[in-house]
Amino acid sequence: MAFTLPFAQLLIAFMILVVALVLGRAVEKVFLRFFSRLQVDRYLAREMGLSFALERTVAHLLAYFIYFGGLVWALGELGVSVRVLQWVFVVFLSVLVILALLGFKDFLPNLFAGFYILATQKIKVGTTLTVGEVSGKVIGFSLVETRIVLKNKDVLFIPNSFLLKQQVVVRA
């Protein structure tokens, strides 16, 4: 049975997409297992006080790059011009940059505020803070948030950037 050229190209493009999906998923699983064994997230939480799912994020990004590479390759097999593929690549990277900026828009100010609070040592574990109408004892501090326990034993997580923007009363 002879295939016409357009059908053969379509079949090849489809196979490329399937291989890219399978390969991307396999690479994602391998890297997730690798990063989990290194305990990257646990290290970030313990040493830097950051609760960020870096293991999963990096594994997903690697898979997405493989998916995108397969998509570009499949489109190339279908005869899509290089100029169109360049525009697809630019749009893809733009979306990634926008998503990254949106993801870090709260994280970065809190991180810088955490460095400032750590450098000035104005807030330490054991001190009592009053922020607005809320008062409690500091039980933990990380680069992105400060944890205080209230009188009713509830734990309040306060973003560090909020502490720099509000009037805070600190009692040792």
Are 73 and 12 in a shared domain?
Answer: yes
112, 128 in Cβ contact below 8 A?
Answer: no
**Which domain does 64 fall in, by range?**
5-105
**pLDDT value for 5:** 59
CATH classification at residue 149: 2.30.30.60
165 or 46, which is more confident: 165
Are 33 and 95 in a shared domain?
Answer: yes
> Distances in Å between the alpha carbon of 51 and those of 34, 47, 108, 135, 160?
19, 11, 13, 24, 14
Instruction: Please give the mean pLDDT across all residues of the chain.
Output: 84
Residue 46 reports pLDDT greater than 80: no
- Three-point CA angle 4, 77, 95, nearest 5°: 140
Are 91 and 120 in a shared domain?
Answer: no
Structure tokens at 137: 């004892």
Are 121 and 55 in a shared domain?
Answer: no
Instruction: Give me the percent of the chain exceeding a pLDDT of 90.
Output: 19
**pLDDT value for 16:** 94
Are 50 and 75 in a shared domain?
Answer: yes
48 or 2, which is more confident: 48
Are 92 and 117 in a shared domain?
Answer: no
Are 144 and 69 in a shared domain?
Answer: no
Final residue before a domain boundary, out of 89, 105, 121: 105
Are 61 and 94 in a shared domain?
Answer: yes
Residue 22 reports pLDDT greater than 90: yes
Other Cβ atoms less than 10 A from the Cβ of 80: the count is: 14
Residue 47 reports pLDDT greater than 70: no
**What is the average per-residue pLDDT within 142-164?**
88
Query: φ and ψ at 168, to 5 degrees?
Result: -120, 130
- CA torsion 146-37-102-83 (nearest 10°) is 170
Are 95 and 144 in a shared domain?
Answer: no
Local confidence band at 50 (pLDDT 50, 70, 90 cut-offs): low
**What is the average per-residue pLDDT within 80-93?**
81
Are 100 and 116 in a shared domain?
Answer: no
Helix and strand tally (H, E) in the chain?
A: 6, 5
**pLDDT value for 24:** 94
pTM of this prediction exceeds 0.85: no
Residue 26 reports pLDDT greater than 80: yes
Final residue before a domain boundary, out of 105, 121, 148: 105
**pLDDT value for 42:** 77
As for how many domains the chain has, the answer is: 2
Are 96 and 32 in a shared domain?
Answer: yes
159 or 52, which is more confident: 159
Are 159 and 100 in a shared domain?
Answer: no
Final residue before a domain boundary, out of 76, 105, 134: 105
**What is the average per-residue pLDDT within 85-112?**
82
